[in-house]
């Protein structure tokens, strides 16, 4: 089983809104419960020995949501990052951010810079927060960096080396909650050989047991990378 443990899991955390709606609560209550699930999942991933955990926290498309929901999400993110930075120090987690800085407020940028800076020496689980993230934008960003460096012809390795976080390996397993079964502009380049796990569980209900179910499913699969 340990042999079949992914090094890197990426999660599309979906279903906060429906979780809140089912309880006749405002959408933001769903996001708050989602932030609790984030904490539980980080703990659980560390416990089972995952080395990299990428979490899709805010996509470039999420800016089209109502402004009060965006403000609430950003506020929640700031609060979570404030407590997370202390927690990360205690538990030896490292935080990385994947995404564009464009459109993010100074308050958010200050917090992410502080969290990244303060945890960079930590050697335990790396939590890579996909924030203001879009995979097509990431690929274009990589190509533009290569053009700026004067490249006339590029290789796949060049693209990989110029993604937002080149030190993060490709995810062996991508999980999406809430019954939706699509990638939604997440890790398009890195997902070339990823296994997918879809669960109807809504993100605020995700926990260590649900993570274990995904890991059990992954452990039973044979990855052939195009071979036989
Ligand atoms: C999808 O639910 C979730 C998001 C758009 C944001 C993810 C945010 C969190 C899990 C909480 C905050 C995160 C951190 C890192 C503190 P949805 O709103 O699309 O749900 P729906 O599809 O049911 O409407």
Give tens-digit pLDDT for 176-193: 999 999 999 999 999 999
pLDDT for position 227? 83
Pick the residue whose CA is nearest to atom 18 on ligand 1: 17
- In this predicted structure, the answer to whether residue 228 has a pLDDT above a threshold of 90 is no
Question: If you measure from the C-alpha of residue 140 to the centroid of ligand 1, how many angstroms do you get, rounded to a whole number?
Answer: 25
Dump strand ranges (E) for the chain.
8-12, 52-59, 94-98, 126-133, 173-176, 195-198
Instruction: Report which of 80, 52, 73 is spatially closest to residue 132, judged by C-alpha positions.
Output: 73
Determine the angle formed by the axes of helices 67-91 and 27-48, rounding to 10 degrees.
20
Beta carbon of 15 within 6 Å of any ligand 1 atom: yes
DSSP 225: T
Catalytic residue among 62, 118, 122, 207: 62
Q: Which residue has the higher pLDDT, 4 or 6?
A: 6
| Spatial contact of 149 and 200, defined as CB atoms under 8 Å apart | no
Question: If you measure from the C-alpha of residue 76 to the centroid of ligand 1, how many angstroms do you get, rounded to a whole number?
Answer: 11
- What gap in Å lies between CA 172 and CA 127, rounded to an integer? 15
| Spatial contact of 186 and 171, defined as CB atoms under 8 Å apart | no
- What gap in Å lies between CA 228 and CA 210, rounded to an integer? 31
Looking at the chain, the whole-number percentage of residues with pLDDT higher than 90 is: 92
Beta carbon of 111 within 6 Å of any ligand 1 atom: no
Give tens-digit pLDDT for 38-62: 999 999 999 999 999 999 999 999 9
Beta carbon of 40 within 6 Å of any ligand 1 atom: no
- In this predicted structure, the answer to whether residue 3 has a pLDDT above a threshold of 70 is no
- State how far Cα 210 lies from the chain centre: 17
For the chain, the 3-state helix, strand and coil shares in percent, each to the nearest 5, are: 50, 15, 35
Task: Say what the alpha-carbon torsion angle 44, 2, 122, 191 is, to the nearest 10 degrees.
Answer: -80
DSSP 3-state of 144? helix
- How would you classify the pairing of strands 52-59 and 8-12? parallel
Beta carbon of 21 within 6 Å of any ligand 1 atom: no
- In this predicted structure, the answer to whether residue 1 has a pLDDT above a threshold of 60 is no
Paired residues of 55 in beta bridges: 11, 129
Beta carbon of 104 within 6 Å of any ligand 1 atom: no
Question: If you measure from the C-alpha of residue 132 to the centroid of ligand 1, how many angstroms do you get, rounded to a whole number?
Answer: 13
CA atoms within 13 A on the CB side of 212: 8
- Pocket probe mutation, ligand 1, options 11, 14, 54, max atoms within 8 Å of Cβ: 14
Question: If you measure from the C-alpha of residue 94 to the centroid of ligand 1, how many angstroms do you get, rounded to a whole number?
Answer: 22
Beta carbon of 59 within 6 Å of any ligand 1 atom: no
CA atoms within 13 A on the CB side of 177: 26
Place of tokens 């009060």: 68
* pLDDT average, residue stretch 142-168: 98
Query: Does 14 qualify as catalytic in the annotation?
Result: yes
């Amino acid at each position: 089983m340990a042999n079949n443990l992914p090094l890197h899991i990426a999660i599309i955390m979906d279903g906060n809104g429906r979780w809140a709606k089912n309880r006749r609560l405002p959408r933001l209550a769903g996001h708050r419960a989602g932030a609790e699930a984030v904490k539980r999942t980080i703990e659980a991933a560390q416990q089972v020995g995952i080395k990299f955990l990428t979490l899709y926290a805010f996509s470039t498309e999420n800016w089209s949501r109502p402004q009060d929901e965006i403000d609430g999400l950003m506020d929640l993110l700031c609060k979570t990052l404030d407590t997370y930075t202390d927690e990360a120090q205690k538990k030896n987690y490292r935080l990385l951010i994947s995404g564009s800085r464009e459109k993010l407020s100074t308050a958010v940028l200050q917090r992410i810079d502080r969290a990244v800076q303060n945890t960079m020496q930590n050697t335990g689980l790396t939590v890579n927060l996909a924030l203001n993230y879009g995979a097509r934008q990431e690929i274009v960003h990589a190509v533009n960096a290569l053009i700026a460096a004067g490249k006339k012809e590029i290789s796949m390795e060049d693209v990989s080396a110029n993604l937002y976080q080149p030190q993060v390996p490709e995810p062996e397993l991508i999980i999406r909650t809430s019954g939706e079964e699509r990638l939604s502009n997440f890790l398009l380049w890195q997902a070339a050989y990823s296994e997918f796990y879809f669960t109807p569980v809504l993100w605020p209900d995700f926990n260590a047991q649900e993570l274990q179910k995904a890991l059990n499913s992954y452990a039973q699969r044979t990855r052939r990378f195009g071979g036989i």
